[in-house]
Amino acid sequence: MNLNQLGWSDYFQNAFNSLDREDLIPARVIRQNKHQYVIHDGRTTRNATILGRLLYESEDASALPAVGDWVCIEPFDEDQAIIHEVLPRFGAFFRKEAGHVTRKQVIAANIDIVFLVSGLDNDFNVRRIERYLVQATSSGATPVILLNKADLREDIDDIIKEVKEVAGDVEVLLISAKEQRGIDAVRTFIHEGLTVAFLGSSGVGKSSIANALMEDVVQRIGAVRDDDSRGRHTTSHRELMPLASGGIIIDTPGLRELQLWGDEDDLQSVFSEINELAAFCKFRDCQHESEPGCAVLQAIEDEELDAARFESFKKLKRELSFLNQRQDEMARLKAKKREKSFGKLVKEINRNNPKR
């Protein structure tokens, strides 16, 4: 194993050089459990923790190392290390942390291809695919849609048609990890030095596909409950694994929900046909609600645009607009806090220098 096989490139080499820290060595995060990391430096796997300064100085949790990140480490003992720096990412797949907090979370960093996996069982949902596609827009990775469990379905042609309608230019592959169908087509996307990640709900078969690619079972595979096809959250850690044939794969735990992190522009490429239609609305700022001369509503009436897809677009737009409002509020609060503590500081200085 060497650094290039782990995904090292000129981009990271340049970033590393400009740090000017010859006392540190580069390594990649291959596994993370809260603040405990497993990293690989091209020769050795090490357990690592983060330098306190890095932990406290980071703007937010998303700036801390995540699986796929390149970090600069100080090795010690045979298999230990301290992480001093995180090298700039060329991209990452984010989400909004679940619940009511407004925090950005990294799911995987520095990925070239993101496989968005769906299972063709009862849990199949084309709206969820749209959601993942929107989040992939800002990830720096090329998305590929994998429809797994093809062995469970008869109406394959209809499903593929439905998915292709939302996929745009994104490739759609039909596979069955169980029957080893279509795995070679997945393999054509994976090359030496490239990092690919599997994302999707629990139980869709991410680990099964990863295992099929690795040709032996490394990840634990869990059974799906029969009733609603939902998985059991078998994979508990994000984990990066180099393939013997070259390329690196990241398996991730199933996401219960993917709340978006981004802005409304991220909708443009995924819903390009709606944007194209909107150009023909009579009013520039048409909200496509009930305005006269609305080209979008007309297209729905003419059955050129699927009403469910338009609903989905509106829902994701609302979600992002709400997120951006919350972000603005948070920024304002932060600035206010800073102003307040600055004011305090000035008062204190004046008190200590009564002559001024």
Binding site for ligand GTP (CB under 6 A): 148-149, 151-152, 176-178, 202-208, 221-224, 231-235, 253-254
Among Mg ion, ligand GTP, Zn ion, none, residue 151 binds (CB under 5-8 Å by kind): ligand GTP
* Distance of closest approach, residue 196 Cβ to ligand GTP, in angstroms: 15
Determine, following the binding rule CB under 5 A, whether residue 252 of this chain makes contact with Mg ion: no
* Distance of closest approach, residue 129 Cβ to Zn ion, in angstroms: 25
Residue labelled with tokens 């299972």: 119
Among ligand GTP, Zn ion, Mg ion, none, residue 176 binds (CB under 5-8 Å by kind): ligand GTP
Specify the 3-state DSSP secondary structure of 301: helix
Which range touches Mg ion (CB under 5 A), out of 11-19, 152-160, 233-241, 336-344?
233-241
Report how far apart, in Å, the C-alpha atoms of 84 and of each of 54, 73, 323, 353 are.
7, 6, 32, 40
Q: How far is it, in rounded angstroms, from Cα 126 to Cα 145?
A: 11
* Distance of closest approach, residue 147 Cβ to ligand GTP, in angstroms: 10
Task: List the one residue from 281, 299, 305, 323 that touches Zn ion (CB under 5 A).
Answer: 281
State the Cα torsion 84-87-93-97 to the nearest 10°.
Answer: 30
* Distance of closest approach, residue 239 Cβ to ligand GTP, in angstroms: 11
Task: List the one residue from 235, 240, 296, 297 that touches Mg ion (CB under 5 A).
Answer: 235
CB neighbours of 112 closer than 8 A, spacing ≥ 6? Answer: 141, 142, 194, 195, 196
Q: Which is nearer to ligand GTP, 15 or 111 (CB)?
A: 111
Q: Which is nearer to Mg ion, 28 or 206 (CB)?
A: 206
- Following DSSP, what letter does each residue of 166-232 receive, concatenated? HHTTSEEEE-BTTTTBSHHHHHTT--TT-EEEEE-STTSSHHHHHHHHHTS--S---PPPTTT----
* Distance of closest approach, residue 182 Cβ to ligand GTP, in angstroms: 9
Q: 216: burial class by Cβ within 10 Å (0-12, 13-18, 19+)? A: exposed
Report how far apart, in Å, the C-alpha atoms of 335 and of each of 147, 331, 338 are.
46, 6, 5
Determine, following the binding rule CB under 5 A, whether residue 82 of this chain makes contact with Zn ion: no
Among Mg ion, ligand GTP, Zn ion, none, residue 152 binds (CB under 5-8 Å by kind): ligand GTP
Determine, following the binding rule CB under 5 A, whether residue 207 of this chain makes contact with Mg ion: yes
Determine, following the binding rule CB under 5 A, whether residue 229 of this chain makes contact with Mg ion: no
Q: For strands 142-148 and 171-174, give the pairing.
A: parallel
Among ligand GTP, Zn ion, Mg ion, none, residue 304 binds (CB under 5-8 Å by kind): none
Q: Which is nearer to Zn ion, 142 or 298 (CB)?
A: 298
Q: CA angle, 88 as apex, 66 and 63 as ends, to 5°?
A: 45
Q: How many CB atoms lie within 10 A of CB 274?
A: 20
Q: How many residues bind Mg ion (CB under 5 A)?
A: 4
Q: Which is nearer to Zn ion, 170 or 294 (CB)?
A: 294
Would you tell me the crossing angle of helices 126-137 and 156-167 to the nearest 10 degrees? 30
CA 245 to chain centre: 25
* Distance of closest approach, residue 148 Cβ to ligand GTP, in angstroms: 5
Q: How many CB atoms lie within 10 A of CB 210?
A: 28
Q: Which is nearer to ligand GTP, 85 or 251 (CB)?
A: 251
Q: Which of residues 282-301 bind Zn ion (CB under 5 A)?
A: 286, 288, 294, 296
Q: Tell me which residues touch Zn ion (CB under 5 A).
A: 281, 286, 288, 294, 296
